Structure 1
Amino acid sequence: MKLIRRHLVMGALLGTAFGGLLILLGGQFVDFQTPSMDLKPLVSTEPARGSLSLPLRKFEWQARTPHPLDLKYPYPYPFLLTHPNKCKGPRGAPFLLMLVMTRPQDVGARQAIRQTWGNETLVPDVVIRRLFVLGLPPPLFTKELHTLLEEEDREHGDLLQMGFLDTYNNLTLKVLMGLEWMARYCPSAQYVLKVDGDVFLNPSFLVRQVLQPYGPPRPDFITGYIYRNTGPLRNPAYKWYIPPELYLPDRYPPYCGGPGYVLSGSLALRVLAVAQTLKVIYLEDVFVGLCLQRLGVKPTPSPPKAFLMYRLQYEYCAFHRLALVHQFWPQELLQIWPDFQRVNMTCTVP
Structure 2
Amino acid sequence: MFRSRLPVLPVVGLLILSSNFLFLLIIRIPNKGLEAFSLPWEWPGNSDSLGDHPNISRFEWKPDLQKTTKARPLNQQPLATATTQHPLKVVYPHVYPFLINEPSKCQEWAPFLVLLVVSKPHDFTERQAIRQTWGNESSVPGVSIIRLFLLGADPLFRSPLQPLLEEESSLYRDIIQQEFLDTYNNLTLKTLMGMEWVTRFCPNATYVMKADSDIFLNVGYLVSKLLQPHLPPKKDYMTGYIYRNTGPLRDKAYKWYVPREVYPNDTYPPYCGGPGYVLSGDLAKKVFQVAQTIPVINMEDSFMGICLYTLGIEVTESPWGLFHVFKVDYEKCRFSELVVVHHYSPEELLQIWPNFTDQNKNCTSQN
* TM-score computed with the length of structure 1 as normaliser: 0.87
Counterpart residue identity of residue 242, structure 2: I
Is 1:72 matched up with 2:88?
no
- Residue aligning to 1:200: 216
Counterpart residue identity of residue 101, structure 1: V
Is 1:95 matched up with 2:92?
no
CA RMSD after TM alignment:
2.6
- Return the alpha-carbon distance in structure 2 between the equivalents of residues 20 and 189 of structure 1: 37
- Return the alpha-carbon distance in structure 2 between the equivalents of residues 258 and 84 of structure 1: 26
Determine if contact 2:134/2:219 at 8 Å carries over to the other structure. yes
Q: 2:355 aligns with which of 320, 335, 339?
A: 339
- Return the alpha-carbon distance in structure 1 between the equivalents of residues 248 and 263 of structure 2: 8
**Residues 180-234 of structure 1: CA distance to partner in whole angstroms, max 9, x if unpaired?**
1111100000111111111010110011101111112321110000001111111
Is 1:314 matched up with 2:342?
no
SS of 2:239's equivalent in the other structure is strand
**Residues 241-293 of structure 1: CA distance to partner in whole angstroms, max 9, x if unpaired?**
11222222221110000011010011111111111111110100000000001
Q: 1:288 aligns with which of 304, 309, 312?
A: 304
- Residue aligning to 2:340: 324
Counterpart residue identity of residue 137, structure 1: D
CA-CA distance at 1:14 after TM superposition: 4.4
Correspondence list, 1:173-322, <5 A:
173-322=189-338
CA-CA distance at 1:77 after TM superposition: 0.5
Determine if contact 2:38/2:83 at 8 Å carries over to the other structure. no
- Return the alpha-carbon distance in structure 2 between the equivalents of residues 64 and 335 of structure 1: 50
CA-CA distance at 1:162 after TM superposition: 0.5
Query: Residues 21 and 264 from structure 1, CA distance in 2 versus in 1: closer, same or farther, beyond 3 angstroms?
Result: same
Determine if contact 1:29/1:63 at 8 Å carries over to the other structure. no
- Return the alpha-carbon distance in structure 1 between the equivalents of residues 75 and 137 of structure 2: 27
- Return the alpha-carbon distance in structure 1 between the equivalents of residues 132 and 24 of structure 2: 31
Correspondence list, 1:22-171, <5 A:
22-24=28-30, 26-29=31-34, 40=71, 42-43=73-74, 65-89=84-108, 92-139=109-156, 141-171=157-187
**Residues 148-178 of structure 1: CA distance to partner in whole angstroms, max 9, x if unpaired?**
1111011111110100110000000111111
- Residue aligning to 2:19: 13
- Return the alpha-carbon distance in structure 2 between the equivalents of residues 27 and 307 of structure 1: 35
- Return the alpha-carbon distance in structure 1 between the equivalents of residues 15 and 82 of structure 2: 29
Query: Residues 347 and 228 from structure 1, CA distance in 2 versus in 1: closer, same or farther, beyond 3 angstroms?
Result: same
The farther-off stretch of 243-252 and 160-169 is 243-252
Determine if contact 2:34/2:91 at 8 Å carries over to the other structure. no
Query: Residues 214 and 324 from structure 1, CA distance in 2 versus in 1: closer, same or farther, beyond 3 angstroms?
Result: same
Query: Residues 331 and 42 from structure 1, CA distance in 2 versus in 1: closer, same or farther, beyond 3 angstroms?
Result: farther
* TM-score computed with the length of structure 2 as normaliser: 0.83
- Return the alpha-carbon distance in structure 1 between the equivalents of residues 23 and 267 of structure 2: 37
Determine if contact 2:115/2:147 at 8 Å carries over to the other structure. yes
SS of 1:15's equivalent in the other structure is helix
SS of 1:187's equivalent in the other structure is coil
- Return the alpha-carbon distance in structure 2 between the equivalents of residues 233 and 331 of structure 1: 32
- Return the alpha-carbon distance in structure 1 between the equivalents of residues 215 and 82 of structure 2: 33
Q: Sequence identity of aligned pairs in percent?
A: 51
Determine if contact 1:103/1:134 at 8 Å carries over to the other structure. yes
SS of 1:223's equivalent in the other structure is strand
Instruction: List, as ranges, runs of 4+ consecutive aligned residues in structure 1 with deviation greater than 4 Å.
Output: 17-21, 41-45, 62-66
CA-CA distance at 1:10 after TM superposition: 3.2
Matched residues, number: 328
Determine if contact 1:96/1:129 at 8 Å carries over to the other structure. yes
SS of 1:23's equivalent in the other structure is coil
**Residues 106-131 of structure 1: CA distance to partner in whole angstroms, max 9, x if unpaired?**
10100110011001011111110011
SS of 2:29's equivalent in the other structure is helix
- Return the alpha-carbon distance in structure 2 between the equivalents of residues 331 and 112 of structure 1: 8
Query: Residues 4 and 224 from structure 1, CA distance in 2 versus in 1: closer, same or farther, beyond 3 angstroms?
Result: farther
CA-CA distance at 1:296 after TM superposition: 1.1
Instruction: Between the two structures, name the one with larger relative contact order (CA 8 Å, sep ≥ 6).
Output: 2
Determine if contact 2:116/2:194 at 8 Å carries over to the other structure. yes
Query: Residues 18 and 342 from structure 1, CA distance in 2 versus in 1: closer, same or farther, beyond 3 angstroms?
Result: closer
